[in-house]
Chains A and B, each alone.
Chain A
Amino acid sequence: MALEPAAAKREKADRPAVQVPPDKLAALALRLRDEPALAFDLLLDHTAIDWIAENRFELVYVLYSTVHGHYLMLTTSVPRETPVVPTLSAVWPIAHWQEREVYDLMGVQYDDHPDLRRLFLEDEWQGHPLRKDYKDDYMLGLPK
Chain B
Amino acid sequence: MDTQEYIVNMGPQHPIAHGSLRLVLRLDGETVVEVTPAPGYVHRGIEKMCESLNYRQIIHLTDRMDYLSALMNNWLVSKTVEKAAGIAVNPRIEAIRTLMAELQRLQSHVLWWGVGGMDLGAFTPFLYGFREREIIGTLFEETIGARLTMNYIQPGGLMYDILPDFAKKVKDILAYLKRIIVEYDTLLSGNVILQERLRNIGILDPKKGIALGCTGPVIRASGVPYDLRKLEPYGTYAQAEFDVVVGTRGDCWDRYYVRIEEMRQSIRIIEQLIDNIPEGPHMVTKFGAKIKVPEGIYYGHIETARGVLGVTIVSDGKSDTPYRIHFRSPNFNNLWAVTALAPGWRIADLIAIQSSLDLVIPDIDR
Q: Digit string of B36-72 for contact with A (CB within 8 Å is 1, else 0)?
A: 0001100101011000100000000000000000000
* A79 contacts the other chain (CB 8 A): no
User: Min CB distance, B296 to chain A, in Å?
Assistant: 3
Q: Is B249 in the interface zone, CB < 8 Å from A?
A: no
B43 touching A42, Cβ below 8 Å: no
**Bound CA span A10–B299, Å:** 14
Check if A133 is an interface residue, CB within 8 A of chain B: no
In the complex, whether B289 has a CB less than 8 A from a CB of chain A is no
- The A-B contact count (CB < 8 A) is 92
Report the contact-size class of chain A (Cβ under 8 Å from the partner): 35 or more
CA distance A93 to B215 in the complex (A): 14
Contact B210 A41, beta carbon cutoff 8 Å? yes
Summarize B's interface: helix, strand, loop or mixed.
mixed
> Is B95 part of the contact surface with A, judged by Cβ < 8 Å?
no
B326 to chain A, nearest CB (A): 4
Residues B211 and A93 in contact, CB atoms below 8 Å apart: yes
Interface size counted on chain B using CB atoms at 8 A: 38
User: Which one, A14, A69, A97, contacts B299 given CB within 8 A?
Assistant: A14
Q: Are B301 and A44 in contact (CB under 8 A)?
A: yes
CB of B308 within 8 Å of the partner chain: yes
Of A73, A94, A141, the contact of B333 (CB 8 Å cutoff): A94
Within the assembled complex, what's the spacing in Å between the Cα atoms of A50 and B51? 12
Contact with B along A105-133 (1 / 0, CB 8 A): 10000000000000111000000011000
In the complex, are the beta carbons of A94 and B324 less than 8 A apart?
no
Is B333 a contact of A97 with CB atoms below 8 Å? yes
Contact, CB under 8 Å: B224 / A119: no
Q: Report, nearest first, the 3 A-B pairs whose CB atoms are least far apart.
A: A94-B213, A12-B296, A120-B40
| Contacts A13-B299, A142-B52 known; 17 new A-B pairs at CB < 8 A | A12-B295, A14-B299, A41-B207, A41-B211, A42-B215, A44-B308, A47-B324, A49-B297, A50-B324, A66-B224, A66-B226, A93-B211, A93-B213, A94-B212, A98-B213, A119-B39, A141-B52
